[in-house]
Amino acid sequence: MNRSWAEPWKIKMVEPISVTTREHREAAIVEAGYNTFLLKSDDVYIDLLTDSGTTAMSDRQWAAMMIGDESYAGARSFYKLVEAVHDVYGYEELIPTHQGRGAEHILSQILISPGDVIPGNMYFTTTRYHQERAGGTFVDVIIDEAHDPTSMHPFKGNIDLDKLAAVVEEFGAERVAYVSFETNVNLAGGQPASMANIKAVYDYCSQRGILVMLDATRAVENAYMIQQREAGYEDSSVASILSEITSYSDGATVSSKKDNLVNIGGFLAVRDPELARKARALLVAFEGLHTYGGMAGRDMEALAEGIREMVRTDDHVRSRVGQVEYLGNRLIKFGVPVVTPIGGHGVFLDAARILEHLDQDEFPAQALAAAIYVDSGVRGMERGIVSAGRDPLTGENRRPNLELVRLTIPRRVYTQSHMDVVAESVIEVFNNRESIGGLTFTYEPEDLRFFQARFAPIAQDA
């Protein structure tokens, strides 16, 4: 008999949530300009907007916060964090920041000169923003399968080495600021890269003097996928796979609000002391002194414990990814089009296929996210044409192949029953999909527009 597994924890403290009425939610989504980012959390029942900073910390992490050292300089908590990052990720030099984008800002400023190119696997919103802000041009070199939501490729996060080589040939190795290699690619649907690919990219780059900088924000989930899918790794621990991943890199940016199991924090970590020196020079201007960056001592304590906890045994990540797969498989069973294989941190609804009657300029994913909220109070997020923004040179909308609604599962927060409620709502909305109309902008911010944009339903002809 196939035996069930369960979460490797029990609940010690609870936070009440409340169900709202449909009328209340209809008013709330209008108030929010049909943008789930602008909803108040009190109006949300099950919050799958993001898994960023929404983690439930453990009793050990809460206990660690009490012994945080709040000294301005040289805090004990900082050295604990340095040790944890070194033990788990293998990097010597730690630059602590307030969250992932703080690290991306500093990395981009020290490595990118105007006119440089930064090849990367798909893109992440804040990562690309900082690369472009530093005068660089991001070039997508992910394998084609990543842009196909129906492809069952087990490693859709892989870099296409031919595409990478073409960029290096066109611009020359000296114009390539670094290769930006994201683990478990967020916007592709939480899709991993294989160890073989990570190693091949590193070998190719180090022969040409090109740095490889990981976005290791979701490297633990990537390591787990390698254990499950790549031959030769089935008996390796997630911790040892993670160490091998990072060994094929020159440094990493990490948003600690994801894998690292804390509500705020992040870091840049590198091997080269000279690079670290340059990073610290900016750190003190933009984040804080080099021994706390953007974090309080107690934040660094909780983070150091979170980093150890995420790989102490494999049970944590297995149950984390297992819960995501549980939700995804329920939706697949009822015929809802989702990105496959199910990714590490969320289920990505294929809004382009669900709302076939809408043009991409009518923002199908934005409209679908709003419809699910109105149905049940479940909050997801648009990851499609709105998130992709406009091309800085032409001013035209970028038109990504992927037009998705992301239902992101916070770590250690919701139970299987919550997942059942989410599945039932999505299935209900899917069955009534013809009734969902398109949206148009009423306010479009210049930068990272998805966060604060406002929309209204497109007027229907009578």
Ligand X SMILES: *Cc1c(COP(=O)(O)O)cnc(C)c1O
Residue 100 is a binding residue for ligand X (CB under 6 A): yes
Local structure of 197: helix, strand or coil? helix
Catalytic residue among 25, 156, 298, 383: 383
Piece of the chain touching ligand X by CB under 6 A; list 3-11, 55-63, 95-103, 163-171: 95-103
Contact status, residue 423 vs residue 441, Cβ threshold 8 Å:
no
Q: Residue 109: count other Cβ atoms within 10 Å of its Cβ.
A: 17
Residue 450 is a binding residue for ligand X (CB under 6 A): no
Shortest CB 182 distance to ligand X, Å? 5
Question: With respect to ligand X, which residue has the nearer C-beta, 218 or 280?
Answer: 218
Using CA atoms in the order 430, 432, 437, 443, what is the torsion angle rounded to 10 degrees?
Answer: -50
Site for ligand X in 181-240 (CB under 6 A): 182, 186, 215, 217-218
Any catalytic annotation for residue 43? Answer: no
Strand 266-270, strand 378-379: pairing? unpaired
Any catalytic annotation for residue 383? Answer: yes
Question: With respect to ligand X, which residue has the nearer C-beta, 194 or 217?
Answer: 217
Shortest CB 99 distance to ligand X, Å? 3
Any catalytic annotation for residue 124? Answer: yes
Between the alpha carbon of residue 268 and those of residues 8, 215, 219, 244, the distances in Å are 30, 9, 14, 18
Residues 6+ apart with CB under 8 A from 4: none
Site for ligand X in 124-143 (CB under 6 A): 124, 126-127
φ/ψ of residue 213, rounded to 5: -110, 120
Any catalytic annotation for residue 373? Answer: no
Catalytic residue among 43, 160, 215, 350: 215
Per DSSP, the residues of 416-455 read: HHHHHHHHHHHHHHHHTGGG---EEEEE--SSSGGGT-EE
Shortest CB 263 distance to ligand X, Å? 11
Site string for ligand X, 241-260 (x = CB under 6 A): --------------x-xx--
Q: Which residue's CB atom is positioned nearest to ligand X?
A: 100
Given 3-state DSSP classes, what are the helix, strand and coil percentages for the chain, each rounded to the nearest 5? 45, 15, 40
Residue 54 is a binding residue for ligand X (CB under 6 A): no
Piece of the chain touching ligand X by CB under 6 A; list 76-84, 121-129, 228-236, 360-368: 121-129
Q: How far apart are CA 279 and CA 124, in angstroms?
A: 21
Q: How far apart are CA 169 and CA 17, in angstroms?
A: 55
Question: With respect to ligand X, which residue has the nearer C-beta, 121 or 425?
Answer: 121
**Binding interface with ligand X (CB under 6 A):** 52, 99-101, 124, 126-127, 182, 186, 215, 217-218, 255, 257-258, 266
Catalytic residues: 72, 124-125, 215, 258, 383, 450
